[in-house]
Amino acid sequence: MSLPEILIIWPGSPVLSLIIEFVIAILLLYLARGPAHKAIYSLSAIIHSGLRLMARSVLLGEKRLVERNREVILATGARAAERLIEREFYRVDAVVKRDMSGYPALQHKLGDQIAHIDEDYRESTEVPVPSPDWVKAVDTLAKLPSKGDSWIANILGEIHKTAQAQYKNTMEEYRKAVSVRHSLLEKMMPYWRRLSQTLDQVDKTIIGLHERSKVIDNRMAEYEEIRNQSDKAVRMLTSSAMTQFFIAALVLLIAIGGAVINFNLIALPMSEMVGGGSYIGNFKTSNIAALVIILVEVAMGLYLMESLRITHLFPVIGHMDDKMRTRMIWVTFSILLILAGVESALAFMRDRIAADMQALRHALATVETAQPVSSWIPTVGQMVMGFILPFALTFVAIPLESFVQSSRTVFGSAVAGLLRLIGFGLRLLGNMVRYIGEFLVNIYDLLIFPPLWLENLIRNKEQHTEVSDIIVKEEV
Amino acid sequence: MKKLIALGLLSLLLLVSGCPDTTSHSQGVYMLLDSSGTYKKEIKRAQAIINYLLGTLQPGDSFAVARIDSASFSEKDIIAKMTFDRRPSMTNQQKRLFKQKVDEFVAKVKGSAYTDITGGVLQAVEYLNETGAGRKHILIFSDLKEDLVKGQVRDFPIPVSECKVVALNVTKLRTDNIDPREYYKRVDQWKERVEAGGGHWRVINDLERLESILAD
């Protein structure tokens, strides 16, 4: 029996059968209205609650992640600030050791210079001029009237002459003394200059220290902000990490470009050493060997930078004693130097092989082609590049460290954002499910609107009758 | 942590040393040159193809050039054969030597009375199987018109499994112009024989597109 035949209740009249089935279905739906509504509401409530619970969990996770990110950012920032402050103090220490260690000698020098100046100053003090009273007495005697007495006149004349001579002598001595004083004062000039220069030097040192102290003040203010775990500090550090991340990524991309060029320089000659036709997996052994050499160079570069304490990726190296660290510097540098030499030789070999291949291609070409211009410049250029690139790759350690450190913050923020988005999506979905449940209930009622309409009609009529009875009773 | 690192290193070592790559990445090419009277004048074009192949093949690949004459199922018909060294510099020297041998052959080539293409293909399969190449190519530089000596038996399936058979420069004969169906019939017959033997058949008549000869 096929499906349409099952549906036909009234043989020979499918439309009537359908109408009867429709009426029966409506009646059944009307009878099952209460439980159906409950079922729809329950289902939507279950899904809604589940989604809300999930959203809550996700948002809780996001909150924890944000807190953890905050802690990491502040810890990293505090460490960096401590390092900067420490470096500033080292600088101040260096300035103090350099300039202030010579302070006793400077003080001694200054004392000497001041003593010289003082001595010269004392020597240059003014010689007292002849007593003015004595001069006045002689002048008065010289000006007494002789009253025609030649003897008195002679005496007075002699006194006057003596006074004049004495005056001349005194003035001459005075001039000499002034001249000596001037010469002494002139001698003081270099001492003054030296004193001035010494004081200028001291002034410069003091100004330098003052500037350093200002920098330390600023760093300390930042450090305090971080220690106080303020939002401003977190924002500042996050922004700084983002900038670091993108700059480091850019520099790493440049470094990858350099590594690719390096790879192309040594891949062909490596096939001369390990064979051009051997494979490891789907990769040529020569290519893998070239890649390994480049990776070893990068690793050596990392160790060298660590040993020099420029980067801090490996605490084990950082914690080594200075003697061991110095040994490590020399070992890594030597390996790098050897690898650079090997690369340079490989670059030379590459040039030779390439030239040989080019010659073969010319020989195989059926048409005449122009001979390439032979020059030593490309050979030397390739050799120099082969020598320099390993050392250039050494500096990859610096952006790599920045990238690793900042990526924790950046990825943390990105994951937190993603979790927030997922939480929002789940909540939205939960609410949608709830309203879809209500919508389905309404649709259900819409499907069974005829019996519902009848039910309402009967209920209204009953209510109307009950109200009329009450009114009649009240009137009675 | 140390144990984990040691385990990782050990696994890596086993992976590299204990599981060597057994797949052969080299390719073997065997080129048959039709030296019959009607086709001898095309030999210069074949020379250009050989030069192209010498420029394309890599260290570790194998290459052989043989002539198709009255009885081609013979090593004597091999003009030059070489498995190139793993080192590029040695490979270049071998290629020069190979070219020299081919040039000498082209200079003094004599037309053969009959054309035993099937014998040449059988010889090619034998050579390529011996090389152990991962990809095998048989290039037939011929008009595909087989002309056997009376008594030679060649009407059996050719075992060219895993081989790519490429017919190059399949020229139209005078009789093909009278009835072109003869040309198509000839090419189809070869296609059927190759595919029946488990090989892959292809025809390249445009010699400006040489890069497609060894294409997969």
Q: Does A226 touch chain B (CB under 8 A)?
A: no
CA dihedral A466, A468, A473, A476 (to 10 degrees): -170
Q: Say how many C-beta atoms besides its own lie within 10 A of residue A192's C-beta.
A: 13
| CA separation for the pair A401, A244 (Å, rounded) | 10
Q: What is the pLDDT of residues A205-217, one digit of tens each?
A: 788 888 888 888 8
| Site of tokens 């001039």 | A175
Are A364 and B92 an interchain contact pair (Cβ–Cβ within 8 Å)? no
Number of domains into which chain B is organized: 1
Residue from A266, A270, A272 to probe the interface with B (highest B Cβ count within 10 Å):
A272
Chain B segment 128-147 residues within 8 A of A by beta carbon are none
Closest CA to A99 of A205, A1, A27, A2: A205
Residue B10 lies in a domain: no
Q: Which of A279, A357, A366 sits opposite B92 (nearest CB)?
A: A357
Q: What's the mean pLDDT in B194-208?
A: 90
d(CA B8, CA B2) in angstroms, rounded, equals: 10
Do the domain assignments include residue B188?
Answer: yes
Q: Is B3 among the domain residues?
A: no
Give the CA-trace dihedral at B13, B15, B18, B21, to 10 degrees. Answer: -130
B89 lies in some domain? yes
- Which domain CATH number covers B31? 3.40.50.410
Residue with tokens 């080192």: B87
Q: Are A241 and A410 in contact (CB under 8 A)?
A: yes
Locate A380 and state its tokens.
């030397």
pLDDT over 70 percentage in chain A: 92
Position B39 in a domain: yes
Q: Verify whether the Cβ–Cβ distance B86 to A279 is below 8 Å.
A: no
Q: Is residue B11 part of a domain?
A: no
As a whole number of angstroms, the distance between CA A363 and CA A357 comes to: 10
For residue A122, give Cα distances in angstroms to A116, A189, A190, A336.
Answer: 10, 15, 17, 71
pLDDT digits (tens, 9 = 90+) for B127-172: 999 998 989 999 999 988 888 888 888 888 888 888 999 999 888 8
Contact residues on chain A for B55, CB-CB shorter than 8 A: 360-361, 364
User: How much is the pLDDT for A446?
Assistant: 92
Question: Are B208 and A366 within 8 A, CB to CB?
Answer: no
Cβ <8 Å between B88 and A353? yes
Q: Which residue segment(s) compose the domain that B204 sits in?
A: 23-212
Helix (H, G, I), strand (E, B) or coil at A1: coil
Predicted complex ipTM exceeds 0.90: no
User: Which residues of chain B does A277 touch, with a Cβ-Cβ cutoff of 8 Å?
Assistant: 25-26, 58-61, 84, 86
User: Does an H or E element contain B138, and which?
Assistant: strand B135-141
The half-sphere exposure of B108 on its side-chain side, counting CA atoms within 13 A, is 5
DSSP reduced 3-state for B80: strand
Does residue B194 form part of some domain?
yes
Instruction: Say if CB B122 and CB B150 are below 8 A apart.
Output: no
Query: CB contact, 8 Å: B100 with chain A?
Result: no
Q: Do B23 and A275 touch (CB under 8 A)?
A: no
Q: Would strands B78-83 and A283-284 be described as parallel, antiparallel, or unpaired? A: unpaired
Distances in Å between the alpha carbon of A187 and those of A106, A117, A173, A182? 22, 9, 21, 9
SS3 B115: strand
Tokens (6 digits) for A203:
């002034």
Tell me the Cα Rg of chain A: 53
pLDDT tens-digit readout, A22-70: 889 999 999 999 999 999 999 999 999 999 999 999 999 999 999 998 8
Q: Are B29 and B55 in contact (CB under 8 A)?
A: no
| Lowest mean pLDDT segment, chosen from A82-86, A191-195, A415-419 | A191-195
